[in-house]
A and B are shown apart, each in its own frame.
Chain A
């Protein structure tokens, strides 16, 4: 399939692919096995200017958009979703500043994000606030020129590794969802520490920790937009980044197909390669068709967002939902085709299958995506009357 990418988009894809092949594939099993953060790979990604991709030119970036980010994330995910998550989470954490930050905040923080000096994390989830983000209990109280943060964020990607954290906290409990605000917290701020590193089923190269705020004082200039905008900022951030999770699904699905087909061509049973069996052929046909359909949707939604559209909530939810459901199915089938070998750690597909699972869960569980899609459909139907 030709997606009519520009010469520059192809250049970006080839560069991400080169990083995947040269820097990620040789170490992915070790990173997975040892729960090891991919510091050297992040350095290579920074050196290749890929962090600059999603930062506007006036802040030292390259000013590329969703499609370029999706292409990059897809290529990285073909090799390792743990690495891709680490990279993509930096974009996720940066969106609140990109979308709602002041000129001063952008000037202060974005250039270091572009060079890769600052990795970023997004802190929304808490023990009692998962799919129901309104359950947030972390508080931020204005005292003089500072906000004082208290509470604990849970399962935060890039926790401990990132330099910058965009945090959603409650500034006025009486206002419900309208009482949340978004803040920028720098690593090293007194009162800001990290909990234990989580031991996960998949994406084990990525770091996941608690963020603990204990009378953590940050300058009031670190409030993003206005008080009360936290929930809107969080939702817009997730709307903008979700397509990228769909792209991760497309990447890991394609990675699993590529592994399975090169294995199956050489795997002989009943005196012939198993690719000669129609049972296997039809599985491959379905896997590739689903993956291509997911890729088409992801690219189309990314292009729609890049066209300047505002109403892309449903579209990005569909890209996330479909891309990640496909990835779970395709990686599971890849393990099935490879049989016992697929189940062993000598081959990468069992890891791909474990990695794919998180894509259906994080950045809005796929059940929540269905809510978003259906509610938007109903709203539209109601308006049409």
Chain B
């Protein structure tokens, strides 16, 4: 089984602060990590390989330093990596990113399954998975919480829903996105870390994957980020206690105090 995992390098959002004047993320000095949801995707790929044999290829699009995310995938057990990196990819929205990824995957060739995290913690769009599947012309299933079985060119999996779950059967190859309920990601192995340390990651450029220059980067992006802003902080809140009569009385008193009624 050849499993491709899509990973994204993101700033560790638990460390990110926002510049209140420009309303942009302060990324300086913030460590980069593998998108946490992608760690579940890598883990599931490794488990499928352990069960069915085959290999795992980790793919990312990003600046040269995104190679670090791929190295981390190797330290966890990925066999192969592909870095899509080119100045021409810069400024890509989810559509242009998905195009580049789908072109990269086409160049990789034969595969049985593509796995990605349900979304990235920086953009939170959850669009790259489905768009890439669409461009590859393969089935897409979101929010997988369990892969029940893989039989030949067929896979049965559980899709997490708001209330309960669906059991979904799909033909392969397919692209799935996974939720954190699916597994508990492993820590890297020492042998994997040593392998990753000596790994030279070579990048595939826009030309290498035969991309149409009108479909990549800023030019290939139909959406634009006009403004980034933090949600307005909520004011002070108070939960009133007591029975309904007491709560009403207390609420009325407080509203009067504020001269609101």
Chain B residues positioned under 8 Å from A18 (CB to CB): 187-188
Q: How distant is A81 from chain B, measured CB to nearest CB, in Å?
A: 20
Chain B residues whose C-beta falls within 8 Å of the C-beta of A50 in the assembled complex = 190
Chain A residues lying within 8 Å of B191, measured Cβ to Cβ, are 49, 52, 62
Contact B189 A48 (CB under 8 A): yes
Q: Please, how many angstroms separate the alpha-carbon atoms of A19 and B187 in the complex?
A: 7
Question: Chain A nearest CB: distance from B125 CB in Å?
Answer: 27
Q: Does B197 contact A (CB under 8 A)?
A: yes
Q: How many residues of B contact A (CB 8 A)?
A: 10
Interface size for A (C-beta < 8 A) is 17
Partner of A44, one of B187, B193, B194: B187
Q: Which residues of A contact B149 (CB under 8 A)?
A: none
Binary per-residue interface labels of chain A (171-212) against chain B in the complex, 1 for a CB within 8 Å, 0 otherwise = 000000000000000000000000000000000000000000
Chain A positions within 8 Å of B188 at CB level: 15, 18, 48
Within 8 Å of chain B (Cβ to Cβ): is A361? no
- The answer to whether the Cβ of A326 comes within 8 Å of any Cβ in the partner chain is no
* Distance between Cα atoms of A53 and B191 in the complex (Å): 10
Q: Provide the residues of chain A in CB contact with B193, threshold 8 Å.
A: 11, 15
Q: A6-20 CB contact bits vs B (8 Å, 1 = yes)?
A: 011001100100110
Q: Judge whether A23 and B187 touch: CB under 8 Å.
A: yes
B186 within 8 A of A: yes
A48: which B residues are within 8 A, CB to CB? 186-190
B186: chain A residues within 8 A (beta carbon): 44, 47-48
Q: Which of B187, B188, B191, B194 has the most CB of A within 10 A?
A: B187
> A50-93 CB contact bits vs B (8 Å, 1 = yes)?
10110000000010000000000000000000000000000000
Distance A296 CA – B193 CA, assembled complex (angstroms)? 27
Main secondary structure of the interface of A (DSSP, over half): helix
Chain A residues whose C-beta falls within 8 Å of the C-beta of B197 in the assembled complex: 7, 11
Point out residues on A near B: beta carbons under 8 Å.
Answer: 7-8, 11-12, 15, 18-19, 22-23, 44, 47-50, 52-53, 62
- Give me 15 A-to-B residue pairs in the complex whose CB atoms sit less than 8 angstroms apart, sorted by A's number: A8-B194, A11-B190, A11-B193, A15-B190, A18-B188, A44-B186, A44-B187, A47-B186, A47-B187, A48-B187, A49-B189, A49-B190, A49-B191, A53-B190, A62-B190
Closest chain A residue, CB of each to CB of B75: A15
A47 to B185, CA, bound (A): 12
Inside 8 A of A52's CB, which chain B residues have their CB? 190-191
CB-nearest residue of chain B to A72: B190
A48, B77: Cα distance in complex, Å: 10
A19 — which chain B residues lie within 8 A by C-beta? 187
Q: Mark B9-45, 1 if CB is under 8 A from A, else 0.
A: 0000000000000000000000000000000000000
Q: A11-B194, A50-B190, A53-B190 are in contact. List 20 more A-B contacts (CB 8 A).
A: A11-B193, A12-B190, A15-B187, A15-B190, A18-B187, A18-B188, A19-B187, A23-B187, A44-B186, A44-B187, A47-B186, A47-B189, A48-B186, A48-B188, A48-B189, A48-B190, A49-B190, A49-B192, A52-B191, A62-B191
Q: How far is it, in angstroms, between the C-alpha of A18 and the C-alpha of B197 when the chains are bound?
A: 17
Closest 9 CB pairs between A and B? Answer: A49-B190, A49-B189, A18-B187, A48-B189, A49-B191, A19-B187, A48-B187, A11-B193, A47-B186
Q: Which of A8, A23, A44, A47 has the most CB of B within 10 A?
A: A47
CB distance from B59 to the nearest CB of A (A): 24
Closest Cβ–Cβ distance, residue A43 to chain B (whole Å)? 9
Query: How many Å from the CB of B190 to the closest CB on chain A?
Result: 4
- Closest B residue to A62 by beta carbon equals B190
What chain A residues lie within 8 Å of B194 (beta carbons)?
8, 11
Q: Which of B171-195 contact A (CB under 8 A)?
A: 186-194
Q: Could you tell me the distance between the alpha carbons of A44 and B192 in the complex, rounded to whole angstroms? A: 14
